[in-house]
């Protein structure tokens, strides 16, 4: 089923915001939602990232949207429907130099004080304000 124009626009805004997260940094689904003006929609941010195309021919895809840099508000890599999903995300973050630890409960965790990215506005919007 095709997405509505409104849904397609939301996906576009989420992907564009996630592209601005610096290498080696992480943020939360909720913070991306806040930055794009929809603080009540962190789950929808997660859905957008879940449906990020693998096809590199797509405008937004796994190669040009750093999906791995978005985690939950507890600093935990959210479990996926496939057990390897969280491990793949942890591996991608480690490749960027992000320290990923395992809690006593087996949760994959990231320390926001070490690599968190929480600006008040997106860098692209800050540049617009400077003009």
Domain ranges of the chain: 5-130
| Pick among 3.90.950.20, 3.30.465.10, 1.10.10.10, 3.90.220.20: CATH of 5-130 | 1.10.10.10
25-80 pLDDT, tens digit per residue, is 999 999 999 999 999 999 999 999 999 999 999 999 999 999 999 999 999 998 87
Query: DSSP letter string over 19-81?
Result: TTSPTT-BEEHHHHHHHTT-TT-HHHHHHHHHT----TTSSS-TTTS-GGGEE-TTSBPPP-S
Closest CA to 110 of 44, 21, 10, 43: 21
Partner residues linked to 116 by β-bridges: 26
29-38 pLDDT, tens digit per residue, is 999 999 999 9
């Amino acid at each position: 089923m095709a997405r509505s124009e409104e849904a397609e626009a939301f996906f576009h805004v989420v992907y564009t915001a996630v592209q601005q997260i610096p290498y080696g940094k992480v943020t939360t689904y909720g913070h991306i939602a806040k930055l794009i003006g929809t603080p009540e929609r962190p789950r929808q941010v997660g859905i957008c990232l879940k449906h990020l195309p693998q096809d590199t021919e797509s405008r937004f895809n796994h190669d040009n949207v750093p999906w791995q840099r978005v985690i939950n508000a507890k600093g935990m890599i959210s479990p996926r429907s496939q057990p390897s999903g969280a491990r793949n995300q942890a591996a991608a973050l480690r490749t960027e130099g992000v320290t990923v630890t395992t809690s006593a409960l087996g949760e994959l965790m990231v320390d926001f004080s070490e690599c968190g990215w929480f600006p008040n506005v997106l860098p692209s919007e800050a540049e617009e304000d400077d003009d």
